[in-house]
């Protein structure tokens, strides 16, 4: 029987990325596994000017950079409705136990300026 993966730790973030065309993005947490991470986020409609093509920005809309350069984004999935959705971005790396800084950039809507935030992942 296979044992499901369990997170080594969960780092709370609650970091505002910003609002684009009435879509507010908030980074909630990072779930750290042995060889990957899940970046959890929420998207809140605050009088949006136009709906997103899908409930959450797709994988290609996300750029995450760590101390060694870009971190590969494997997938971005979400659930919810037009007013609120939440999701996760699967990353092909885990932060160091010594701690590190990540920069997260998201193109919420094509043709709009991306939103960016820097998050500190503390040492274990």
CA angle 43, 41, 14 (to 5 degrees): 105
- Please report which confidence band the pLDDT of residue 99 belongs to, taking 50, 70 and 90 as the band edges: very high
Residue 3 lies in a domain: no
Please tell me the total count of domains within the chain. 1
- Please report which confidence band the pLDDT of residue 71 belongs to, taking 50, 70 and 90 as the band edges: very high
**In percent, how much of the chain has pLDDT > 70?**
100
Q: Give the predicted TM-score (pTM) of the model.
A: 0.92
Mean pLDDT of 48-70: 90
Could you give the count of Cα atoms lying within 13 Å of 121 in the half-sphere of its Cβ? 25
- Please report which confidence band the pLDDT of residue 66 belongs to, taking 50, 70 and 90 as the band edges: very high
**Helix/strand/coil (H/E/C) assignment for every residue in the chain:** CCCCCCCCEEEEEEEEEEEECCEEEEEEEEEECCCCEEEEEEEEECCCCCCCCCCCCCHHHEEEEECCEEECEEEEEEEECCCEEEEEEEECCCCCCCCEEEEEEECCCCCCCCEEEEEEECCC
pLDDT at 82: 83
Residue 80 lies in a domain: yes
Mean pLDDT of 67-72: 97
Query: Is the pLDDT reported for residue 81 higher than 90?
Result: no
**In percent, how much of the chain has pLDDT > 90?**
83
Is-contact 57 76, C-beta < 8 A?
yes
- The CATH number covering residue 74 comes to 2.60.40.1640
Query: Is the pLDDT reported for residue 43 higher than 80?
Result: yes
Residue 1 lies in a domain: no
**Full residue range of the structural domain in which residue 74 is found:** 9-121
Residues in a beta bridge with 103:
65, 118
């Amino acid at each position: 029987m296979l044992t499901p993966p369990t997170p080594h730790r969960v780092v709370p973030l609650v970091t505002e990325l910003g609002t684009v065309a009435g879509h507010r993005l908030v980074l909630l947490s990072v779930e750290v596994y042995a060889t990957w991470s899940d970046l959890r986020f929420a998207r809140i409609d605050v009088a949006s000017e136009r709906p997103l093509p899908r409930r959450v920005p797709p994988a290609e809309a996300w750029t995450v950079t760590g101390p060694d350069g870009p971190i590969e984004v494997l997938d971005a999935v979400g659930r919810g409705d037009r007013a609120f959705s939440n999701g996760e971005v699967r990353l092909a790396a885990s932060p160091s136990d010594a701690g590190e800084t990540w920069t997260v950039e998201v193109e919420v809507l094509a043709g709009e300026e991306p939103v960016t935030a820097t998050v500190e992942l503390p040492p274990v």
